[in-house]
Amino acid sequence: MKILSVNAGSSSLKFQLLQMPEEIEISSGLVERIGNKNAEFTLKFNGNKQVLKDLVVLDHSVAVDLVIKGLLQNKVIQSLDEIDGVGHRVVQGGELFKDSVVIDDDVVIKIASLNDLAPLHNPANIIGINAFRKALPNVIQVAVFDTTFHQTMPKENFLYGVPYEWYEKHGVRKYGFHGTSHQYVSQLAHQRLNKENTKIIVAHIGNGASLTAVLNGKSIDTSMGLTPLEGFPMGTRSGNVDPAIFQLMQQKEGYSLEKTLNELNKSSGYLGISGISHDSRDIVQAAEAGNERAQLAIDIQAKRIADYIASYYVLLGGLDALVFTAGIGENAKEVREAVCKRVEVLGIKIDAELNNSRGDKEISRKDSLVKVWVIPTNEEVMIARDVIRLQKHN
């Protein structure tokens, strides 16, 4: 059975074609700079990589056509009938979606009703859904939300200390994101712990980053909030700040609300603190070469992550495993080390040599009271699994 996992952004379309239930990648690819005349299409299949440049891709339907033609022309599939289902990543499911869902017209309307909560993401996700529904009208399409895994959070953890009517009237609350990743990784950690009741913290640290406290397989708290801006500093996002910053920046620099919000989303975090780059590789390299602000970017992020770990340790009533995942969590040993040395007091101890090696591995020392693992995430597989689960009930 072949399932397509799709992640549509405002100007990009990422996909992976998976052989299920074996969970083997058949092909993957990316269309970048949609809406431009210099779009790029990358397709990987059978160990080959094809890159087409300077394409005119004015919208997502053209991008979907490119993907489908690419798969057919390169004989990755012989016909469209081979695609048994499509799973779409949707960022915001609000309180409307407690689980993944088979897409119909009503579901699309409901997702669109959440656009105000995720203006940077949901509209793009819907464009991707519509384009694939048009191209593959007879194939089951499933929406998998970043937020559903966190719908198990109790009220005292997801509500803010603001007027209650804001929640009732406008849905102002913490939703959390990266749910498919937190779920995938925590399920693996749960299995490895090999006991019924488990206390796990997942540190998904990529360009966007969040921490989740997982009790017996369920998310009970997470660092991202109403939007992915909340939490600790990321590649370009600030994480938590005092909201009074908005007024000060208006007075001092004449910044509009939108301008400050944009700066907090796009010019902060690693990039803003270091003044060098949003990419952890550049930051680590600069810090090693003695750049103080690059080192500060790593230290500020690590300090804030340690704050969350300590807080979730208390919330969970202890900790069995801390798991690092995503681009930085999986690859940047310096970031893992900077975090772990700040939480040693909790009995979390990593081995420098194990931390230095690559891949799926345990990096904790024998005398650590908590297992520390690096587990590569796989959101595409999680999405494909949900397509199959819902296909069975459809």
Query: How far apart are the C-alpha atoms of 82 and 45, rounded to whole Å?
Result: 16
Cβ proximity to ligand AMP, 143 vs 271, nearer residue: 271
Of residues 208 and 233, the one with the C-beta less far from ligand AMP = 208
Among 12, 280, 301, 378, binds ligand AMP (CB under 6 A): 280
* Residue 203 β-bridge partners: 211, 324
A 10 A CB-CB count for 152 gives 15
* Closer CB to ligand AMP, 85 or 206, in the complex: 206
Within its chain, how far is the Cα of 198 from the centroid?
23
The residue range among 117-125, 147-155, 165-173, 200-208 that interacts with ligand AMP, by the rule CB under 6 A, is: 200-208
Tokens encoding 74: 């390169």
Q: Is 103 or 284 the residue whose CB approaches ligand AMP more closely? A: 284
Q: Do 95 and 69 touch, CB atoms closer than 8 A? A: no
Closest residue to ligand AMP, based on beta-carbon distance: 327
Nearer to ligand AMP, 281 or 389 (CB): 281
Residue 281 interacting with ligand AMP (CB under 6 A): yes
Nearest distance from C-beta of residue 143 to ligand AMP, angstroms: 21
- Who contacts 44 (Cβ-Cβ below 8 Å, separation ≥6)? 27, 28, 29, 50
Q: How far is the CB of 273 from ligand AMP (least distance, A)?
A: 14
Per CB under 6 A, the list member of 328, 340, 346, 375 interacting with ligand AMP is 328
Which listed range, 81-89, 97-105, 201-209, 213-221, lies at the site for ligand AMP (CB under 6 A)?
201-209
Q: Identify the sign of the CA torsion 8, 9, 13, 15.
A: negative
Which 3-state string (H, E, C) describes 31-58?
EECCCEEEEEEEEEECCEEEEEEEEEEC
Residue 364: strand, helix, or coil: strand
Shortest spacing between CB 268 and ligand AMP, in angstroms: 14
Give backbone dihedrals phi and psi of 143, rounded to 5 degrees, phi first. -100, 130
Instruction: Tell me: does residue 285 bind ligand AMP (CB under 6 A).
Output: no
Query: Per the structure block, which two tokens stand in for 99?
Result: 């689980």
Stretches 205-213, 311-319, 344-352, 362-370: which one binds ligand AMP (CB under 6 A)?
Answer: 205-213
Q: Of these residues, 65, 116, 146, 299, which one is catalytic?
A: 146
Residues in the annotated binding site for ATP = 14, 204-208, 279-281, 327-331
Q: How far is the CB of 26 from ligand AMP (least distance, A)?
A: 21
Does 279 interact with ligand AMP (rule: CB under 6 A)?
yes
Exposed/middle/buried for residue 5 (C-beta within 10 Å: 0-12, 13-18, 19+): buried
Which CB, 37 or 281, lies closer to ligand AMP?
A: 281
Residues contacting 338, CB < 8 A, separation 6+: 298, 299, 301, 302
Distance between CA atoms of residues 297 and 267, nearest Å: 13
Site for ligand AMP in 170-199 (CB under 6 A): none
Distance CA 347, CA 316 (A): 15
d(CA 209, CA 223): 9
Determine if 269 is a binding residue for ligand AMP (CB under 6 A): no
Contact in structure between 78 and 28 (CB atoms under 8 Å): no
Q: Does 206 bind ligand AMP (CB under 6 A)?
A: yes
Residue 99 a catalytic site member? no
Binding site members for Mg(2+) = 7, 379
φ, ψ (nearest 5 deg) of residue 125: -60, -40
Buried b (16+ CB within 10 A) or exposed e, 259-275: ebeebbbeebbbbbbbe
| Contact pick of 327, 346, 371, 373 for ligand AMP (by CB under 6 A) | 327
Q: Contact between 87 and ligand AMP (CB under 6 A)?
A: no
- Choices 31-39, 165-173, 204-212, 386-394; region in contact with ligand AMP by CB under 6 A: 204-212
Question: Torsion angle, CA of 160/165/166/169, rounded to 10 degrees?
Answer: 140
In the 8-state DSSP scheme, what is residue 95?
T
Lay out the site mask for ligand AMP across 226-245 (x = CB under 6 A, - = otherwise).
---------x----------
CB of 279 to ligand AMP, least distance (A): 4
207 binds ligand AMP (CB under 6 A): yes
Name the residues that contact ligand AMP, by CB under 6 A.
Answer: 206-208, 235, 279-281, 326-328, 331-332
Residues designated as active site: 146
